[in-house]
Amino acid sequence: MKKVAFYTLGCKLNFSETSTISRQFEEKGFLKVDFQENPDIFIINTCSVTENADKKCKKIVREAKKISPNSFIAIIGCYAQLKPREISEISGVDAVLGAAEKFRLIELLDDFAVAQETKVLASEIQEATAFNNAYSINDRTRTFLKVQDGCNYGCAFCTIPLARGKSRSNTIQSVLESAREIAATDVKEIVLTGVNIGDFGIVDGKRNERFADLVYALDEVEGIDRLRISSIEPNLLTNEIISFVARSKRFVPHFHVPLQSGSNTILRKMGRRYLRELYVDRVTKIKTLMPHACIGVDVIVGFPGETDELFLETYNFLNELDISYLHVFTYSERANTRAAEMEEVVPMKKRNERSKMLRILSEKKRRNFYNENLGKDFTVLFEEDVADGKIHGFTENYIRVAAKFDPMLVNELKKVALDQINDAGNVEVREPEMVYEKH
């Protein structure tokens, strides 16, 4: 029995896909093992957004070769689609598969025999038109369920459409089948995953269904305690969806909404499909209906043309906005994007300074959000996340909670009263022993 190990870089989508590909291997009789357990085959799922993707990829290949010198190494993922030739030249790599090929890996590579020549099986991205269903089952608590792939937007800084292709989706019926399979396991929470999930509904280039209808249908699936919409573009987060989440017992009050810049000048240069006024409107709508909702924000600093004044616009905009945390990205040039050709490049030192300022702001926002919710009751889903005698989990509105460790709490939903923020920045439950069952 051949042993296979997986390594994943990047986003939830990559994790869901690695997990699905690993199940394909298991179904074919391969034994899935950890990276350190002398595998015969390594599958490395790469990301193009990760800083220094090339260096990371080389490092993982080196590590793999140290562990199993005679192993077969295949590279898949966004970076493999963008730079197949470059990757094929990394010493130790046996195969590179693109977006249209990665789900047919076992069929295409067949015997996984190490050969002199590196196999490069990466079609042009236009060929990646099929939707491949995927969901992760790595830990018992939460699953990333892929409902959509690719993107038709073409933001100036983004390589994802080049790496993943056009927007395409699963059908509602097929998502429901996956959700029912997941419900039959012990998993308590499904996180909907995709590149641009609000654009859900395109099959074979035609829009057939709507994301809102997917949300309604999933809400009816028995056996799933929690559903989380992960990241959704502000222009696609409609009042209809927000109002439904406010009424739903299963969809949790947590939204992650990319903003990217608080300056309309920069938003236009980025080619984003909204202005800051729309973003304020979305936040206001969410907070009016769900005052306790958590709102996470993606923001990029140092985009070309972001002067000190324009950065301050972003800073002040975020400072005044009722949001809960930021994911800050320092802009870096990516080949074959419009932004890489733009002038008024921001020096790296300034990009880093701005990133630091926003990270500090994020901490302040998170703390304020946690503080606002102290004294209230929430439901925590405890995870296998234990440190210093404490077990951790997240409330429905994404507050990270710490309670006294009890093995019986793992993968359980419990009602808790939030007490105080501890030194690690998590919220302690008032009396851990007072944790009581959800009804």
CA angle 373, 301, 144 (to 5 degrees): 55
Nearer to ligand SF4, 274 or 405 (CB): 274
Shortest CB 10 distance to ligand SF4, Å:
13
Give residue for tokens 């094929």.
88
Q: Give, rounded to a whole angstrom, the gap between the first and last alpha carbons of the chain.
A: 46
Shortest CB 208 distance to ligand SF4, Å:
20
Shortest CB 70 distance to ligand SF4, Å:
39
Amino acid identity, position 190: I
Number of Cβ atoms within 10 Å of the Cβ of 335: 10
How many residues are listed for the chain in this entry?
439
Does 293 interact with ligand SF4 (rule: CB under 6 A)? no
Token digits of residue 357? 């300022």
Residue 177 C-beta-side C-alpha neighbours within 13 Å:
6
Shortest CB 406 distance to ligand SF4, Å:
41
Of the candidates 245, 358, 229, 343, the one whose C-alpha atom is nearest the C-alpha of residue 300 is 358
Annotate 16-44 with b (16+ C-beta within 10 A) or e (fewer). bbbbbbbeebeeeebeeeebeeebbbbbb
Nearer to ligand SF4, 232 or 416 (CB): 232
Nearer to ligand SF4, 320 or 333 (CB): 333
Token digits of residue 139? 């830990």
Amino acid identity, position 145: L
Shortest CB 115 distance to ligand SF4, Å:
36
Q: Which of 136, 141, 143, 196 binds ligand SF4 (CB under 6 A)?
A: 196
Q: Which of 10, 77, 92, 161 binds ligand SF4 (CB under 6 A)?
A: 161
Query: How many residues make contact with ligand SF4 (CB under 6 A)?
Result: 10
Shortest CB 161 distance to ligand SF4, Å:
5
Q: In this chain, which stretch among 48-56, 157-165, 367-375, 420-428 interacts with ligand SF4, using CB under 6 A?
A: 157-165
Query: Burial, 66: exposed, middle or buried (Cβ in 10 Å; 0-12, 13-18, 19+)?
Result: exposed
Q: In this chain, which stretch among 150-158, 178-186, 381-389, 430-438 interacts with ligand SF4, using CB under 6 A?
A: 150-158
Nearer to ligand SF4, 39 or 161 (CB): 161
Token digits of residue 99? 């977006």
Q: Are 261 and 299 in contact (CB under 8 A)?
A: yes
Shortest CB 392 distance to ligand SF4, Å:
30
Does 154 interact with ligand SF4 (rule: CB under 6 A)? yes
CA distance 205 to 201: 10
Shortest CB 154 distance to ligand SF4, Å:
5
Amino acid identity, position 128: A
Does 49 interact with ligand SF4 (rule: CB under 6 A)? no
The alpha carbon of 175 is separated from its chain's Cα centroid by a whole number of angstroms, namely 18
Nearer to ligand SF4, 84 or 198 (CB): 198
CA distance 101 to 12: 20
Shortest CB 78 distance to ligand SF4, Å:
11
Does 158 interact with ligand SF4 (rule: CB under 6 A)? yes
Name the DSSP class of 345: P
Give residue for tokens 């799922």.
45
Among residue numbers 244 through 263, which ones bind ligand SF4 (CB under 6 A)? none
Q: In this chain, which stretch among 135-143, 147-155, 209-217, 429-437 interacts with ligand SF4, using CB under 6 A?
A: 147-155
Does 274 interact with ligand SF4 (rule: CB under 6 A)? no
CA distance 58 to 36: 17
Shortest CB 195 distance to ligand SF4, Å:
5
Nearer to ligand SF4, 104 or 338 (CB): 338
Nearer to ligand SF4, 4 or 80 (CB): 80
Q: In this chain, which stretch among 29-37, 107-115, 146-154, 172-180 interacts with ligand SF4, using CB under 6 A?
A: 146-154
Amino acid identity, position 385: D
Q: Which of 105, 151, 232, 286 binds ligand SF4 (CB under 6 A)?
A: 151
The alpha carbon of 342 is separated from its chain's Cα centroid by a whole number of angstroms, namely 28
- Could you list the residues that contact ligand SF4 (CB under 6 A)? 151, 153-155, 158, 160-161, 195-196, 233
